[in-house]
Amino acid sequence: MSRSDFAPISATLREQLFDHYRARGRAGRASDMRLWRLTIETNSGLVERRFGPVLDRYLQASGRSTAEGLDVVDLGCGFGSIAVYLAYRGATVLAIDPDRGLQEVGAAAAARHGLPAIFMQGRMEESPAISMNYDLAVLNNSSCFVMDPILRRRAMAETFRVLRPGGHLVSTNPNRSCPVDPFTGWPMIHWLPARHATAAARLLGRPRSAVRLLSGRAARHELEGAGFIDIEAWAPARGLLGRAMRPIARYQHLLARRPPAASLGTIAWSDEHPTSHGQSTPRDPSLSRERA
Protein backbone atom coordinates (compact mmCIF):
# COMPACT_ATOMS: atom_id res chain seq x y z
CA MET A 1 0.00 0.00 0.00
CA SER A 2 1.53 3.34 -0.93
CA ARG A 3 1.36 6.22 1.48
CA SER A 4 -0.94 8.29 -0.73
CA ASP A 5 -3.55 5.59 -0.11
CA PHE A 6 -4.07 7.23 3.28
CA ALA A 7 -6.04 10.05 1.60
CA PRO A 8 -9.46 8.29 1.76
CA ILE A 9 -8.83 7.34 5.39
CA SER A 10 -7.91 10.89 6.31
CA ALA A 11 -11.10 12.04 4.52
CA THR A 12 -13.11 9.69 6.76
CA LEU A 13 -11.33 11.02 9.85
CA ARG A 14 -12.16 14.58 8.74
CA GLU A 15 -15.81 13.68 8.23
CA GLN A 16 -16.04 11.95 11.61
CA LEU A 17 -14.36 14.90 13.33
CA PHE A 18 -16.83 17.35 11.77
CA ASP A 19 -19.67 15.14 13.02
CA HIS A 20 -18.06 15.01 16.47
CA TYR A 21 -17.92 18.82 16.74
CA ARG A 22 -21.32 19.34 15.15
CA ALA A 23 -22.91 16.90 17.62
CA ARG A 24 -21.42 18.89 20.48
CA GLY A 25 -22.58 22.22 19.07
CA ARG A 26 -19.03 23.57 19.01
CA ALA A 27 -19.31 25.35 15.68
CA GLY A 28 -20.50 28.59 17.25
CA ARG A 29 -18.08 31.51 17.67
CA ALA A 30 -15.50 32.34 14.98
CA SER A 31 -12.60 31.72 17.41
CA ASP A 32 -14.05 28.30 18.32
CA MET A 33 -14.43 27.47 14.65
CA ARG A 34 -10.81 28.35 13.93
CA LEU A 35 -9.72 26.11 16.79
CA TRP A 36 -11.79 23.14 15.83
CA ARG A 37 -10.85 23.43 12.17
CA LEU A 38 -7.21 23.31 13.24
CA THR A 39 -7.86 20.27 15.46
CA ILE A 40 -9.74 18.57 12.63
CA GLU A 41 -6.89 19.08 10.17
CA THR A 42 -4.28 18.00 12.75
CA ASN A 43 -6.18 14.74 13.17
CA SER A 44 -6.93 14.08 9.51
CA GLY A 45 -4.95 15.75 6.71
CA LEU A 46 -1.81 16.25 8.81
CA VAL A 47 -1.62 12.85 10.51
CA GLU A 48 0.84 11.35 8.04
CA ARG A 49 3.11 14.39 8.25
CA ARG A 50 2.80 14.45 12.05
CA PHE A 51 3.48 10.81 12.80
CA GLY A 52 5.18 9.42 9.68
CA PRO A 53 8.67 10.66 10.73
CA VAL A 54 8.20 9.26 14.26
CA LEU A 55 7.28 5.84 12.91
CA ASP A 56 10.15 5.95 10.42
CA ARG A 57 12.60 6.83 13.22
CA TYR A 58 11.32 3.87 15.25
CA LEU A 59 11.58 1.50 12.27
CA GLN A 60 15.15 2.62 11.71
CA ALA A 61 16.07 2.17 15.39
CA SER A 62 14.48 -1.28 15.59
CA GLY A 63 16.07 -2.46 12.34
CA ARG A 64 12.71 -3.05 10.64
CA SER A 65 11.83 -2.10 7.11
CA THR A 66 8.06 -2.01 7.63
CA ALA A 67 5.40 -1.60 10.29
CA GLU A 68 3.59 -4.70 8.95
CA GLY A 69 2.92 -7.15 11.79
CA LEU A 70 3.82 -4.80 14.64
CA ASP A 71 1.77 -4.84 17.84
CA VAL A 72 1.36 -1.28 19.05
CA VAL A 73 -0.31 0.27 22.09
CA ASP A 74 -1.26 3.95 21.78
CA LEU A 75 -1.55 5.44 25.28
CA GLY A 76 -3.68 8.58 25.33
CA CYS A 77 -4.91 8.18 21.75
CA GLY A 78 -7.46 11.03 21.82
CA PHE A 79 -9.39 10.95 18.53
CA GLY A 80 -7.33 7.93 17.51
CA SER A 81 -5.96 9.36 14.28
CA ILE A 82 -2.43 8.10 14.99
CA ALA A 83 -3.77 4.65 15.90
CA VAL A 84 -5.64 4.57 12.59
CA TYR A 85 -2.51 5.69 10.72
CA LEU A 86 -0.43 2.95 12.38
CA ALA A 87 -3.07 0.34 11.48
CA TYR A 88 -3.01 1.62 7.90
CA ARG A 89 0.77 1.12 7.87
CA GLY A 90 0.22 -2.52 8.83
CA ALA A 91 0.35 -2.58 12.65
CA THR A 92 -2.27 -4.07 14.96
CA VAL A 93 -3.14 -1.34 17.43
CA LEU A 94 -4.72 -1.12 20.85
CA ALA A 95 -5.64 2.53 21.52
CA ILE A 96 -6.37 3.69 25.06
CA ASP A 97 -7.84 6.95 26.30
CA PRO A 98 -10.07 7.97 29.24
CA ASP A 99 -12.34 9.90 26.86
CA ARG A 100 -14.58 7.45 25.02
CA GLY A 101 -16.25 10.28 23.07
CA LEU A 102 -12.97 11.16 21.34
CA GLN A 103 -12.15 7.53 20.55
CA GLU A 104 -15.40 7.12 18.61
CA VAL A 105 -13.85 9.11 15.75
CA GLY A 106 -10.94 6.69 15.27
CA ALA A 107 -13.11 3.64 15.92
CA ALA A 108 -15.53 4.69 13.16
CA ALA A 109 -12.68 5.31 10.68
CA ALA A 110 -11.01 1.98 11.52
CA ALA A 111 -14.32 0.14 11.09
CA ARG A 112 -15.09 1.81 7.77
CA HIS A 113 -11.67 0.98 6.28
CA GLY A 114 -11.28 -2.47 7.90
CA LEU A 115 -8.20 -1.48 9.87
CA PRO A 116 -7.07 -3.51 12.92
CA ALA A 117 -7.28 -0.80 15.58
CA ILE A 118 -9.21 -1.54 18.78
CA PHE A 119 -10.21 1.30 21.10
CA MET A 120 -10.54 0.89 24.86
CA GLN A 121 -11.39 3.35 27.58
CA GLY A 122 -8.65 3.54 30.18
CA ARG A 123 -5.73 5.42 31.65
CA MET A 124 -2.06 4.88 30.98
CA GLU A 125 -1.31 4.62 34.69
CA GLU A 126 -3.68 1.62 34.95
CA SER A 127 -3.44 0.32 31.44
CA PRO A 128 -6.25 -2.07 30.48
CA ALA A 129 -3.81 -3.81 28.09
CA ILE A 130 -3.44 -7.34 29.41
CA SER A 131 -0.84 -8.29 26.86
CA MET A 132 2.79 -7.67 27.72
CA ASN A 133 3.95 -8.26 24.22
CA TYR A 134 3.74 -4.92 22.48
CA ASP A 135 6.55 -4.04 20.12
CA LEU A 136 5.88 -0.34 20.43
CA ALA A 137 4.18 2.01 22.91
CA VAL A 138 3.19 5.46 21.63
CA LEU A 139 2.87 8.41 23.99
CA ASN A 140 2.03 11.25 21.66
CA ASN A 141 1.21 14.51 23.38
CA SER A 142 -0.47 12.56 26.18
CA SER A 143 1.80 11.84 29.16
CA CYS A 144 2.06 15.61 29.77
CA PHE A 145 -1.59 15.43 30.89
CA VAL A 146 -0.71 13.09 33.76
CA MET A 147 0.26 15.71 36.30
CA ASP A 148 0.48 13.88 39.60
CA PRO A 149 4.09 12.66 40.01
CA ILE A 150 3.01 9.31 41.52
CA LEU A 151 0.52 8.63 38.72
CA ARG A 152 3.17 9.67 36.25
CA ARG A 153 5.65 7.14 37.65
CA ARG A 154 2.91 4.53 37.47
CA ALA A 155 2.18 5.50 33.84
CA MET A 156 5.83 4.97 32.91
CA ALA A 157 5.95 1.67 34.83
CA GLU A 158 2.78 0.51 33.03
CA THR A 159 4.23 1.49 29.67
CA PHE A 160 7.32 -0.54 30.51
CA ARG A 161 5.16 -3.49 31.64
CA VAL A 162 3.11 -3.81 28.47
CA LEU A 163 6.16 -3.86 26.20
CA ARG A 164 7.83 -7.10 25.31
CA PRO A 165 11.51 -7.27 26.31
CA GLY A 166 13.37 -5.27 23.69
CA GLY A 167 10.18 -3.35 22.78
CA HIS A 168 10.31 0.41 22.18
CA LEU A 169 8.58 3.53 23.41
CA VAL A 170 8.21 6.65 21.29
CA SER A 171 7.18 9.79 23.09
CA THR A 172 6.45 13.27 21.77
CA ASN A 173 5.50 15.84 24.38
CA PRO A 174 5.82 19.62 24.76
CA ASN A 175 9.26 20.68 25.93
CA ARG A 176 9.69 22.65 29.16
CA SER A 177 13.06 23.93 27.93
CA CYS A 178 11.49 25.77 24.98
CA PRO A 179 11.55 29.51 25.80
CA VAL A 180 8.00 29.85 24.47
CA ASP A 181 5.01 28.05 26.00
CA PRO A 182 4.05 25.43 23.40
CA PHE A 183 0.35 25.94 24.23
CA THR A 184 -0.16 29.71 24.29
CA GLY A 185 2.91 30.89 22.36
CA TRP A 186 3.79 33.23 25.22
CA PRO A 187 7.31 33.36 26.54
CA MET A 188 8.14 31.57 29.80
CA ILE A 189 4.59 31.17 31.12
CA HIS A 190 5.09 27.38 31.24
CA TRP A 191 7.98 27.81 33.68
CA LEU A 192 5.48 28.76 36.36
CA PRO A 193 4.13 25.90 38.50
CA ALA A 194 1.48 24.11 36.36
CA ARG A 195 -1.48 25.49 38.35
CA HIS A 196 -0.23 29.07 38.07
CA ALA A 197 0.56 28.74 34.38
CA THR A 198 -3.03 27.63 33.72
CA ALA A 199 -4.45 30.43 35.88
CA ALA A 200 -2.21 33.09 34.27
CA ALA A 201 -3.19 31.95 30.77
CA ARG A 202 -6.88 32.12 31.71
CA LEU A 203 -6.42 35.63 33.11
CA LEU A 204 -4.74 36.69 29.89
CA GLY A 205 -7.67 35.29 27.90
CA ARG A 206 -5.99 32.25 26.37
CA PRO A 207 -7.26 29.08 28.11
CA ARG A 208 -4.52 26.50 28.43
CA SER A 209 -4.66 22.79 29.30
CA ALA A 210 -3.32 21.77 32.71
CA VAL A 211 -0.12 19.92 31.87
CA ARG A 212 3.16 18.90 33.43
CA LEU A 213 6.09 19.70 31.14
CA LEU A 214 9.56 18.24 31.59
CA SER A 215 12.96 19.41 30.46
CA GLY A 216 14.91 17.00 28.28
CA ARG A 217 17.00 15.96 31.26
CA ALA A 218 13.98 15.34 33.52
CA ALA A 219 12.23 13.36 30.76
CA ARG A 220 15.29 11.16 30.35
CA HIS A 221 15.51 10.68 34.12
CA GLU A 222 11.84 9.67 34.22
CA LEU A 223 12.38 6.99 31.57
CA GLU A 224 15.53 5.70 33.26
CA GLY A 225 13.60 5.48 36.55
CA ALA A 226 11.05 3.20 34.85
CA GLY A 227 13.83 0.90 33.59
CA PHE A 228 14.14 2.06 29.98
CA ILE A 229 17.49 1.97 28.23
CA ASP A 230 18.94 3.38 25.00
CA ILE A 231 17.08 6.64 25.57
CA GLU A 232 17.56 8.94 22.63
CA ALA A 233 16.34 12.49 22.09
CA TRP A 234 16.00 13.13 18.39
CA ALA A 235 14.71 15.87 16.10
CA PRO A 236 12.40 15.30 13.11
CA ALA A 237 13.70 18.57 11.61
CA ARG A 238 16.51 17.81 9.21
CA GLY A 239 19.82 19.59 8.94
CA LEU A 240 22.26 21.17 11.30
CA LEU A 241 19.85 23.86 12.51
CA GLY A 242 17.15 21.30 13.37
CA ARG A 243 19.63 19.27 15.39
CA ALA A 244 21.10 22.35 17.07
CA MET A 245 17.65 23.60 18.12
CA ARG A 246 16.51 20.22 19.46
CA PRO A 247 17.08 20.96 23.19
CA ILE A 248 14.81 24.03 23.01
CA ALA A 249 12.37 22.87 20.33
CA ARG A 250 8.64 23.07 21.14
CA TYR A 251 8.33 19.31 21.25
CA GLN A 252 10.57 16.69 22.77
CA HIS A 253 10.93 13.52 20.69
CA LEU A 254 12.17 10.55 22.68
CA LEU A 255 12.86 6.99 21.75
CA ALA A 256 13.66 4.35 24.39
CA ARG A 257 13.75 0.60 24.77
CA ARG A 258 12.78 -1.97 27.37
CA PRO A 259 15.90 -4.06 27.96
CA PRO A 260 15.97 -7.37 26.12
CA ALA A 261 15.11 -10.42 28.25
CA ALA A 262 18.72 -11.30 28.97
CA SER A 263 19.39 -8.00 30.74
CA LEU A 264 16.09 -7.74 32.66
CA GLY A 265 17.77 -9.12 35.76
CA THR A 266 19.55 -5.80 36.20
CA ILE A 267 16.31 -3.93 36.94
CA ALA A 268 15.47 -3.44 40.60
CA TRP A 269 11.72 -3.95 40.93
CA SER A 270 10.17 -1.69 43.56
CA ASP A 271 6.91 -0.08 44.59
CA GLU A 272 7.44 2.27 41.70
CA HIS A 273 6.79 -0.68 39.40
CA PRO A 274 3.55 -1.85 41.06
CA THR A 275 2.44 -3.98 38.15
CA SER A 276 5.79 -4.96 36.70
CA HIS A 277 5.91 -8.55 37.82
CA GLY A 278 7.86 -9.80 34.85
CA GLN A 279 5.51 -12.64 33.94
CA SER A 280 3.97 -13.15 30.58
CA THR A 281 0.22 -13.13 30.12
CA PRO A 282 -1.92 -14.17 27.15
CA ARG A 283 -2.16 -11.79 24.24
CA ASP A 284 -5.22 -9.56 24.08
CA PRO A 285 -7.76 -11.98 22.60
CA SER A 286 -9.69 -9.20 20.90
CA LEU A 287 -6.76 -8.27 18.72
CA SER A 288 -6.17 -10.02 15.48
CA ARG A 289 -3.77 -9.27 12.68
CA GLU A 290 -6.43 -10.11 10.17
CA ARG A 291 -8.05 -7.15 8.53
CA ALA A 292 -11.82 -7.25 8.56
Ligand X SMILES: C[S@@+](CC[C@H](N)C(=O)[O-])C[C@H]1O[C@@H](n2cnc3c(N)ncnc32)[C@H](O)[C@@H]1O
Nearer to ligand X, 146 or 189 (CB): 146
- Any contact of residue 125 with ligand X (CB under 6 A)? yes
Residues numbered 245 to 284 that lie near ligand X (CB under 6 A) are none
Query: Cα angle vertex 131, ends 126, 133, to 5°?
Result: 120
Beta-sheet strands, E only, within the chain = 71-75, 92-97, 117-121, 134-140, 163-174, 229-234, 251-257
Which of 10, 44, 92, 142 contacts ligand X by CB under 6 A? 142
Which of 73, 87, 93, 102 contacts ligand X by CB under 6 A? 102
Kindly indicate which of the ranges 32-40, 69-77, 84-92, 231-239 contains the residues binding ligand X, using the contact rule CB under 6 A: 69-77
- Any contact of residue 99 with ligand X (CB under 6 A)? yes
Phi/psi class of residue 34: alpha, beta or left (left: φ > 0; alpha: ψ in -120 to 50)? alpha
Residues numbered 45 to 64 that lie near ligand X (CB under 6 A) are none
The distance of closest approach from Cβ of residue 142 to ligand X in the complex, given in angstroms and rounded to an integer, is 4
The distance of closest approach from Cβ of residue 140 to ligand X in the complex, given in angstroms and rounded to an integer, is 4
**Contact, 124 vs 142, CB < 8 A?**
yes
- Any contact of residue 175 with ligand X (CB under 6 A)? no
Nearer to ligand X, 10 or 142 (CB): 142
- Any contact of residue 174 with ligand X (CB under 6 A)? no
- Any contact of residue 75 with ligand X (CB under 6 A)? yes
CA 263/CA 261 separation, integer angstroms: 6
Which of 26, 64, 123, 164 contacts ligand X by CB under 6 A? 123
User: DSSP character for 250?
Assistant: S
CA 163/CA 129 separation, integer angstroms: 10
Say whether 175 sits in a helix, a strand or coil: strand
**Contact, 113 vs 13, CB < 8 A?**
no
Whole-angstrom CA distances from 46 to 5, 26, 270 are 14, 21, 41
- Any contact of residue 158 with ligand X (CB under 6 A)? no
Which of 55, 82, 137, 163 contacts ligand X by CB under 6 A? 82
Instruction: Give me the sign of the Cα torsion angle 17, 21, 23, 24.
Output: positive
- Any contact of residue 78 with ligand X (CB under 6 A)? yes
The distance of closest approach from Cβ of residue 208 to ligand X in the complex, given in angstroms and rounded to an integer, is 12
Instruction: Name the closest residue to ligand X (Cβ).
Output: 78
Cβ count within 10 A of residue 105: 28
- Any contact of residue 146 with ligand X (CB under 6 A)? yes
Q: Which residues bind ligand X (CB under 6 A)?
A: 43, 75-78, 81-82, 97-99, 102, 123-125, 140-142, 145-146
